[in-house]
Amino acid sequence: MDYTQLFQFSGDRVLVIGAGSGIGREAALALGAHGATVVCADRDSTTAAETAAMIGGSAIATQLDVLDLDAVRAAADEFSDISALVFTAAMNVRKRIADYTMEEFDRVVNLNLRSSFSLIQAFAPKMAANGGGSIIGFASIRAYVVEPGQGVYAATKAALVQLARTAAAEFGPDGVRVNVIAPGVVETPLTAQIKNNPEWYNAYAQKGALGRWSKPEELAGAVVYLASNASNYVTGSVLMVDGGWTAVDGRFDPPNS
């Protein structure tokens, strides 16, 4: 076993959906730095092209709206040779259950869950036909722990965990691995509402063991790991990258005595 090759992607093409910004962009940059040929996909073709330019080399950009089922299926045909698929697109409407509209419910469920299902449904069989591959989705700590106003978002992320586990069971015999990463609080456009509220921001920062928020680039290593040969026997798993949020359950730090 040549362990120096565990994190090398030379000759492998990977598709990152949501590559135009945030975690998706950092994941694309990290995969490119390890030798992968990266296809940067995003609903915003301009930001996708910016990411591809940052990677350089053979990286390309493509426009993809994951809510468009025909476009997702066409992408699966066009990029049927990929060794890894990473998808990060998500949204959240922070409202208590009694205040939610069904239109808001549908928007969150369609982007967070329905699109995840359609991506797995479209790409997993292609990977299986090629002898295997890695699919990586993004759940959240909200799949496990919640707070008021997180109901629909949390439900979609919990559902994604079970969807990934089921896909791992169904496509595992053909060599397709399916895993999810569960971040804690990350400084992205999705969390701008919280970040701009000092009281909210500081409360979240103190919840985890590390006492701070994470940055998008701190999720990139988890993506590289799950896409690489280093995780060949890892499937149906949730990789928590939450700074200890779900490990620390107390809200009070008792005195030493």
Tens digits of pLDDT across the chain (257 residues): 899 999 999 989 999 999 999 999 999 999 999 999 999 999 999 999 999 999 999 999 999 999 999 999 999 999 999 999 999 999 999 999 999 999 999 999 999 999 999 999 999 999 999 999 999 999 999 999 999 999 999 999 999 999 999 999 999 999 999 999 999 999 887 777 788 888 888 888 888 899 999 999 999 999 999 999 999 999 999 999 999 999 987 666 778 76
Cβ(142)–Cβ(91) below 8 Å: no
pLDDT of residue 177: 98
What residue segments make up the domains of the chain, in order of their start? 8-241
Check if CATH label 3.40.50.720 holds for domain 8-241: yes
The tokens describing 182, both together, are 């569960």
Q: How far apart are CA 246 and CA 253, in angstroms?
A: 16
**Helix 22-33 vs helix 220-227: angle between axes, to the nearest 10 degrees?**
50
Alpha helices in 91-196 (DSSP H): 102-109, 115-129, 151-171, 192-195
Q: How far apart are CA 20 and CA 46, in angstroms?
A: 8
Return the residue matching tokens 């208590």: 96
Name the β-bridge partners of 238.
180
Catalytic (active site) residue 153: yes
pLDDT of residue 195: 82
DSSP string, 200-233: HHHHHHHHSTTSS-B-GGGGHHHHHHHHSGGGTT
Query: Catalytic pick from 153, 201, 204, 233?
Result: 153
Q: Is 209 exposed, middle or buried (0-12, 13-18, 19+ CB in 10 A)?
A: exposed
The tokens describing 67, both together, are 């809510």
